[in-house]
Chain A
Amino acid sequence: MNHEQLKDKLHALHDGEAGPGERAELLAHLASCSSCRSEHERWERLAGAFFRAAPRPAEGETELFAARVMARIRAEPREEATPWAWAGLRWMAPALGFALAAAFLLAMWPAPERLAPDDVLLLTGGEASALEAWVSQPAFPAADDMLAEITGEL
């Protein structure tokens, strides 16, 4: 085993992640190898100096902390606190708003003016009622049909 592999194993030993057999093997190696022992002790000292746990909070502090958290939870709007069945679909609100706005804009958009073809205008001869009737039809009738209708009326 080379030194780099050993270094990883020594870290595993320090972290309590070495298996029982490996641990015994490593401890035996540390007892006989001053270089690895010094490497191992070096990290133990660094960790001990810089990663010292803060004192655990007293029970009273925890109680006070829980009270503060719960006060903030109670102050929150209900919908944020309770996971409603459709809470995951909240994205739909802006999407729905956007869709409504788009529909409104489309509805308000001025429709292109329906112009009667020139020949129909001429054929109606200024007959306003016939022209209006023609324009208000859902689809433009063919000019021949229109002509037949007007001549029939005359």
Chain B
Amino acid sequence: MSATDDELISQVLSGDSEAYADLVRRHHPAIFGLCAGLLRDRSQAEDAAQEIFLKAYRSLSKFRGASSFATWLYRIASNHCLDMLRRRERAATESWDALLEAEGERIERLLSAPVNEERSLEDADLVRRVLDCLPPEYRLILTLRELQGLTYQEIAAAMGCSLDSVKARLRRAREDFEGRLRHFSGAGIV
């Protein structure tokens, strides 16, 4: 039977740093998925995930076990990616209006396409550009919920806020996103 997260953490803290490799293997898919979903760039997501696991390793002695190791990792990952998104936001040159003007038709097509349809690289890039226009905090909470499937409780632990705050933030993020795309009819979009 494989060791639990807590057992592996104890081993690492006792000096067996190689035990950390098992924690990395176990949590890499989720952390990489979050980074890829937030950053929408595979290479950046890979680099970010490495930094997150290193940060977690260096701070392992501060892990108190109040939440699960996975939630604690999500918290480190959320903060790290939020910083990256904020830097990207400051450097952004494309406004929402300019994006709508240039890519309105393609956004409309994207919204009308069947959900399971294979997506081209151009469409994936368009999704990234649309999401880049969202405030980083909204993007984070929507990604944690919609893409990672975290419960409200898990999001609250990952973001370090209350359950009510999660609900309020999610609602604001959704209203903002829906508001931006309200002009697109798409199938089912009014």
Binding site for B on A (CB under 8 A): 7-8, 11, 15-17, 38, 41-43, 45-54, 56-57, 62-63, 65-70, 72-74, 80-83, 87-88
Which 5 residue pairs spanning A and B have beta carbons closest together? A83-B61, A51-B146, A48-B115, A54-B36, A66-B24
Known: A45-B189, A70-B24. A52 touches B131 (CB 8 A): no
Max chain B Cβ within 10 angstroms of own Cβ: one of A7, A43, A67:
A43
On whether the beta carbons of A46 and B29 are closer than 8 Å, the reply is no
Q: How far is the CB of B58 from chain A (nearest CB, A)?
A: 6
> Across the two chains, which residue of chain B brings its CB closest to A45?
B188
**What is the size category of the interface that chain B forms with chain A?**
35 or more
| Interface SS majority for chain A | helix
Residue B25, interface by CB 8 Å? yes
Query: How many angstroms between the C-alpha atoms of A49 and B143 in the bound complex?
Result: 13
Tell me how many residue pairs across A and B have CB atoms closer than 8 Å: 114
Task: Enumerate B32-76 residues with CB–CB distance to A below 8 Å.
Answer: 32-33, 36-37, 42, 45-46, 49-50, 53-54, 57-58, 60-61
- Which among A43, A62, A80, A88 is the interface contact of B174 at CB below 8 angstroms? A43
| A66 and B25 form a contact (CB under 8 A) | yes
Are B24 and A83 closer than 8 Å at their CB atoms?
no
Is there an interface contact between B28 and A62, defined as CB atoms closer than 8 Å? yes
B135 interface residue per 8 A CB criterion = no
In the complex, the answer to whether B60 meets A15 with C-beta atoms within 8 Å is: no
B121–chain A nearest beta-carbon distance, Å: 13
